[in-house]
Amino acid sequence: MCGRFAITLPDDAMARLFQAVPANDLPPNPNYNVCPTNPVAAVTSDAGQRHLRPMRWGFIPQWYKTPADGPLLINARAETIAEKPAFRAACRERRCLIPASGFYEWSKGAGGARLPWYIHRADGAPLAFAGVWQDWEREGERLTTCAIVTTAANAPMCAVHHRMPVIVEEGDWAVWLGEAGKGAARLMQAAADEVLAFHRVDPRVNSNRASGPELIEPLAEAD
């Protein structure tokens, strides 16, 4: 799964990287501890024009009467996304890219302690998570919401967790966004083993209130 991530790339740099028109109300950046229900920046494509726009991280199915009417859907499993009623239409029609600098995952330590890790691209480039999105509206309240697509972890990541986000390489962005015909399904797989690197970080990130660049720094004397 993916339950937290960091984004440190400035808005204008994100817009240039994805060749997208940025919205005026993007969420504050940098954010070293993006949590579920937080606003995130996502890239969508409309008739070939890409947009960088804010979305709530936590997909709301159309049948929810309130945003809290059911489970919080922050992730969509690649193996079942095309079949699940919540995601089926979005998988076909509303795919997005969610930029990130890295993400957090937790392994279990002695006595069941939660040991946080920061995972990022080995080459230092930004990540582009595969995502799906949709608008939800009830009684005048309207939210644009998204979920990150996840898949079974690759071999290195299995040492930390059995799931990981689907990471879309730059050459495949147009396919995932629906600009270059069909083929999105083949992208929903784990990144190659050499793409990611990871290191232990301070357990302070276990709190969703923690913030600051020190959250992604390697933990000194990690076990």
**Beta bridge partners of residue 121, listed in sequence order:** 196
For residue 140, what pLDDT is reported? Answer: 86
Report the pLDDT value the prediction gives residue 221, as an integer from 0 to 100.
64
**Beta strand spans in 10-113 (E):** 20-22, 31-34, 39-46, 49-57, 75-77, 95-100, 102-108
Looking at the annotation, which residues are catalytic? 2, 105
Per domain, the residue ranges of the chain are 4-216
Fold type of domain 4-216: hypothetical protein yedk fold (3.90.1680)
Pairwise CA distance, residues 29 & 80, whole Å: 32
What is the predicted pLDDT for the residue at 101?
98
Per-residue pLDDT reduced to its tens digit, 186-209:
999 999 999 999 999 999 999 999
pTM, two decimal places? 0.96
- Give pLDDT < 70 ranges for the chain: 221-223
